[in-house]
A = this chain, B = another copy of it.
Amino acid sequence: MNTSTTTVTVVGGGVIGLSVAWRAAARGWRVTVVDPDPVHGGASWLAGGMLAPVTEAWPGEEAVLSLGEASLRRWPSFARELVAEGTDPGLAEHGTIVVGFDSADAGHLDILAGYLRSLGRDVETLTGREAKRLAPGLGSVRSGLHVPGDLAVDNRKLLTALSEAATKRGVEFRRERLESLSEVSGPVILAAGAWTGQLHPLLEHAVRPLKGEILRLRPRRGCLPPPPYTVRAMVEGRPIYLVPREDGELVLGATQYEAGFDQAVTARGVRELLEGAERILPGITEYELVELAAGLRAASRDALPYIGEVSEGVYAATGHHRNGLLMAPATADAVVAWLAGEAPPPEVAAATPARLEKERV
């Protein structure tokens, strides 16, 4: 295809769509992003911004870990290129600690640590005392893990940076909802998150919304400062995370519900998050609660995204579940490689939508 005469249409202005649009435009393509509310309208804007393939890992999900790590390795250069475009991608340097409070949590951490070691990953186990030394103010922690390589990004800075960089590279934005692929010609990238299933028959039952509530807090005068690491924990079987931002904000996420396209913030969700956070960081009780929100992750059937051609010239880039921000660089690289007739990052192969065809047979 000829980059000067062909327009690439990206459906979706979240982190995946904006990353693909920016990288494709930087390679010379004319790109249009179609989204009724790009940047702010979807799950990417609400996310916690963890770039944490290792602490998200679990036995049986090796392909997710492998793709996540491949994308994390691309993150520093991805961020540097955004800086070179004159923008601030908001990449944070701090690592991640995972803490446990009771024997069930300790068992959970033991499984995770053993699994990661069996794969040769760098994990430091912590006593409760050591965890509290790393992150003063933690509650009655029994044990923990320190994963210095699991990073975080300020998702709102990132989306703003991607939008600015894309615009500088000539990307155009059509603020509307694309109803049908018949409206566009040329290559199309389907990156509409939880709504992507409505755009292509192969994805119709493969991508579904996974609701998540997330809160944003700020320490008030006299409060304990936020922890210097991303802190994760299971509280009563629910994963909770606290991600500190450079400006003092603390992101507290996230619930997970199968609730269709419902985006209401519920009393239960907020109460569970606050209770969980108080267990992790008791001093958070006096923080100001500055934002409540609920968004819809794009969940796949097997926790791996769908990245690849679904019909001629139509590429899926969706189903990233909790990992959209993490996997944006690898996803964008894969799509741009296909557009240019080049080879994608090898770890993307497992995410092929062709596995859906097999399920059909």
Contacts and interface: CB of A to CB of B under 8 A. Distances in A.
Interface of A: 217, 220, 262, 264-268, 270-271, 274-275, 277-278, 284-289, 292
A271 B268 contact: no
Contacts of A264: 220, 288
Nearest to A265: B289
A265 B288 contact: yes
A290 to B, nearest CB: 8
A3 B53 CA distance: 75
How many monomers of this protein are in the complex?
2
Contacts of A285: 266-268, 271
A236 to B, nearest CB: 14
Contacts of A286: 266-268
Contacts of A275: 271, 275
A289 B267 CA distance: 6
B292 A266 contact: no
A15 B127 CA distance: 56
Contacts of A278: 267, 271
Contacts of A271: 271, 274-275, 278, 285
A278 B266 CA distance: 12
Nearest to A285: B268
A257 to B, nearest CB: 10
A201 B287 CA distance: 34
Given A220-B264, A266-B285, A266-B286, 19 more contacts: A217-B267, A220-B262, A220-B266, A265-B289, A266-B287, A266-B288, A266-B289, A267-B274, A267-B277, A267-B285, A267-B286, A268-B286, A270-B274, A270-B289, A271-B271, A271-B274, A271-B275, A274-B274, A292-B292
